[in-house]
Structure 1
Amino acid sequence: MKLIKILPIIVFGLFMSCGEDQDDSLQPSNPNLIIKLKFDPTQERLGNLGQPVSVGSGNAAQSPSINKMSANYIEFAPTATTALGTGEIIFNGEETTAGGNQAINFQNAIFAGDNETFLTIPLSDVSSGNYEWVRVSLAYQEGDIDVLANGQDIIGTLASFVGYNSYITSFDLNGSTINVNENKAQGFWAFEALGFTAQGQAPEGATTVPNPLSNTSPIPTGSCIVTGEFENGLTLTGNETQDITVTLSFSINNSFEWTEINADGKYEPEAGEQVVDMGLRGLIPSVSN
C-alpha cells in the first residue's frame, strides 16, 4: 500500500522536473554587442573632411601592418546632426590626472588586433534605436613599417600615440622598455628595430582624423575621434535574442607619412626624414549577427 501511494508522487516529481528543464530551455538568451577591429590597406584614403586625398606634396607614405590598436571612446550617433557626446556612448576608457592635465590612462588601456574583439557588452546596456554613424576616439596603434637604414631594408615597429593626451609610465616595444612617466600630446611616437629605439613627436595638428560630419557635427581640435557611416544603419529593438557584431574597419592606406628628403619612397630616419602623420585614414562600420 505504501508503494502505491509513493509512485504517483515520484511520477509527478519527474513530470515537474522535465517541465522545469523545458522552461529553462525556452528562457531568452542574454545577447551581447561585440565590437571587432579590422585594418584595411585597400580601403579609401581620406582626409580630415572625410574626402579622398593623396599623399602630401614633398612627403612619402606607406601602409603599416597594424599589430594592435586601442580606442578610448565609442559612440553610436542616430543622425548626421547628433552632437558629439549626445549619442549612445557604449564605451569610455579610463582617464587620469596623474601626469597633470586629464589624459588617457595608457597603462589600463584595452587592445585588440586585426579581426579581434575589442569590446563585448550586454545588448541590454545599449539603448534601442536607429543609428547611422559611429564615432571612435583612437588612442594608440602599433605596427610594423619598412625602413631603410645603413643602406639595408629592415622592418621596424612603430608605436603611435594618437589620442588627445596620453599618460604613459612605460611600455614594451618588441622587448625594449620605453620609459616615459609623463603626459604626451597627440603625435608622440616610439620606434624599435634590431634592438635600437628612438622617440619623437609629430607636429601639432598633423595627425589626420577623418570626420565626414565636420559641417554638422564637428569634433574638438587635437582629438582623434574618427567618424564612419553604417551602410544600412544599425537598428536595435531591445528584443534581440542573438549577438550583434559591429566590425570597425579602419583604413591604413598609406597612413604612415613622412617628409621625403631622398626621393626614393623609403622611410630613412638617418637622412633626417621626419614622421608627420600616423592617423588612420577612414572608418567603415558594418553589422552582422
Structure 2
Amino acid sequence: MKILKCIPLWLLICLLFACSSDSDNSANNPSLIIKFKFDPNQQRLGNLGQPVTVAPGNAAQSPLIARMSANYIEFAPTTTTFLGQGEVIYEGAETNLGGNMAIDFQQSLFAGNNDTFLSIPLNEVNTGSYQWVRVSLAYQEGAIDLLVNGTEISGTLGSFVGYNNYITSFNLNGSSITVNDDKLQGFWAFEALGFTTQGQAPEGATTVPNPLFATSPVPQGSCVVTGEFENGFTITGNETEDVEVVLSFSINNSFEWTEVNIDGKYEPEAGEQVVDMGLRGLIPIVSN
C-alpha cells in the first residue's frame, strides 16, 4: 500500500489507459493459429490419398507422437494450384552447411498433440477462399512398442521425414545423438533403456498422402502431405477474432516394418526392418 501511495495519480491513469489500449489493439489484430493433432483413429491413406491397409508381409502400429515439426505450410485454392503457387503462410529455416540445401533441424519449430505450432497476424495472410492445405513435414518423435528377448518394452523413435535434413545433434529421451551432416528422408534414431541405434528407411518408402496427385503432384521425397477443408476456408480481411486451424494428422498404423516372426510385434533383433514412418492423412479443421 505504501508503494501505491507513492505513485502519482496521473501515472496510474496512464498505466490504466495503456492496458486498455493494448486490449483494444489485440482485439483489432486477430491471429491465424495453427495447431497440430495426432489421431490414431483417422483413416489410413496411401500416397494417392486413398484408404489402404498394411502391405502383405508387413506389420504396423500407431505410435504415441510426442512432438512434430513442419517446414512449410501452404493454403491452395483449387485442385490445380501447383505447389508454391498458393498462399504460403510458413517456411522454415534451411541451410547448405551439410553440402546440399536442407532443413535446418536446429532452428525447427515443434508442437505436441493439440498444441500451437504457429501463430501469425491474420492480416499477413492474403484474403481469398482456400480448399486445400499442404504441409511439408520434417520430423516426428514418439513412443513405439517392441519385443526384445521375449519382453515387450517401449522406446522413443525420432524420424526425419523431410526431403533433406541438416542435423548437428538432437536429444532423444535424454540421450544425445550427434550427426553433423545431411540426412535424407527416412533417417531415424531409436532409444530404449538408455541405448540408441540409427537407421535409414529405403528411398521412396515414406508414405506422403496427396489426393491431388493427378492434378497437382509434389516432388518425390518432399513429404508434402495434402488435406482438404471440408467446407472450404475463407479469409475475408474483416475478421475481428482469432481464427484457428487444427491440422489433424492420421497416425493410424503409421509405423510399419517387415515381419520375420508373424506376430504383429516389432522385433528388430529378429531382423525386422522399418520400411515406413510417413503420416497417413491430413484433415484441416477450422474454428473461430
TM-score w.r.t. structure 2 length?
A: 0.92
The reply on whether 1:84 has 2:75 as its aligned counterpart is no
2:45 maps to a residue whose letter is: L
Deviation digits for residues 19-62 of structure 1, max 9, x if unmatched? Answer: x99x9587651100000000000000000000000001100000
The aligned residue for residue 144 of structure 1 is 143
Pairs within 5 Å for 1:239-254: 239-254=238-253
The aligned residue for residue 106 of structure 2 is 107
Distance in 2 (alpha carbons) for counterparts of 1:253 and 1:178: 28
The aligned residue for residue 171 of structure 2 is 172
Asked which structure has the greater CA Rg, the reply is: 1
Distance in 1 (alpha carbons) for counterparts of 2:99 and 2:56: 37
* More off after superposition, 176-185 vs 26-35: 26-35
The reply on whether 1:267 has 2:266 as its aligned counterpart is yes
Distance in 2 (alpha carbons) for counterparts of 1:167 and 1:151: 37
1:68 maps to a residue whose letter is: R
The aligned residue for residue 124 of structure 2 is 125
Distance in 1 (alpha carbons) for counterparts of 2:59 and 2:230: 31
1:235 maps to a residue whose letter is: T
Alpha-carbon shift at residue 150 of structure 1 (Å): 1.5
Distance in 2 (alpha carbons) for counterparts of 1:213 and 1:126: 23
Deviation digits for residues 133-154 of structure 1, max 9, x if unmatched? Answer: 0000000000000010111000
Distance in 1 (alpha carbons) for counterparts of 2:130 and 2:165: 30
Deviation digits for residues 143-172 of structure 1, max 9, x if unmatched? Answer: 000010111000000000000000001000
The aligned residue for residue 40 of structure 2 is 41
Deviation digits for residues 159-189 of structure 1, max 9, x if unmatched? Answer: 0000000000100001111111100000000
Alpha-carbon shift at residue 236 of structure 1 (Å): 0.3
The reply on whether 1:66 has 2:65 as its aligned counterpart is yes
Secondary structure, in 3 states, of the residue corresponding to 2:28? coil
Distance in 2 (alpha carbons) for counterparts of 1:174 and 1:139: 19
1:75 maps to a residue whose letter is: E
Deviation digits for residues 222-255 of structure 1, max 9, x if unmatched? Answer: 1100000000111000111000000000000000
Distance in 2 (alpha carbons) for counterparts of 1:222 and 1:279: 11
Distance in 2 (alpha carbons) for counterparts of 1:223 and 1:60: 25
The aligned residue for residue 211 of structure 1 is 210
The aligned residue for residue 3 of structure 2 is none
The aligned residue for residue 195 of structure 1 is 194
2:222 maps to a residue whose letter is: S
Deviation digits for residues 193-243 of structure 1, max 9, x if unmatched? Answer: 000110000000000000000000000011100000000111000111000
1:217 maps to a residue whose letter is: S
The aligned residue for residue 10 of structure 2 is none
Distance in 1 (alpha carbons) for counterparts of 2:24 and 2:36: 33
Distance in 1 (alpha carbons) for counterparts of 2:24 and 2:146: 58
The aligned residue for residue 11 of structure 2 is none
Distance in 1 (alpha carbons) for counterparts of 2:154 and 2:210: 31
- Runs of 4+, deviation exceeding 2 Å: 23-28
The reply on whether 1:228 has 2:227 as its aligned counterpart is yes
The aligned residue for residue 6 of structure 2 is none
Alpha-carbon shift at residue 77 of structure 1 (Å): 0.2
1:226 maps to a residue whose letter is: V
1:221 maps to a residue whose letter is: Q
2:132 maps to a residue whose letter is: W
Task: State how many pairs are aligned.
Answer: 270
TM-score w.r.t. structure 1 length?
A: 0.91
2:198 maps to a residue whose letter is: Q
Alpha-carbon shift at residue 269 of structure 1 (Å): 0.5
Which ranges in structure 2 are unaligned for 5 or more consecutive residues? 1-13
Distance in 1 (alpha carbons) for counterparts of 2:31 and 2:175: 37
Q: CA RMSD in A?
A: 1.4
1:275 maps to a residue whose letter is: V
Secondary structure, in 3 states, of the residue corresponding to 1:107? helix
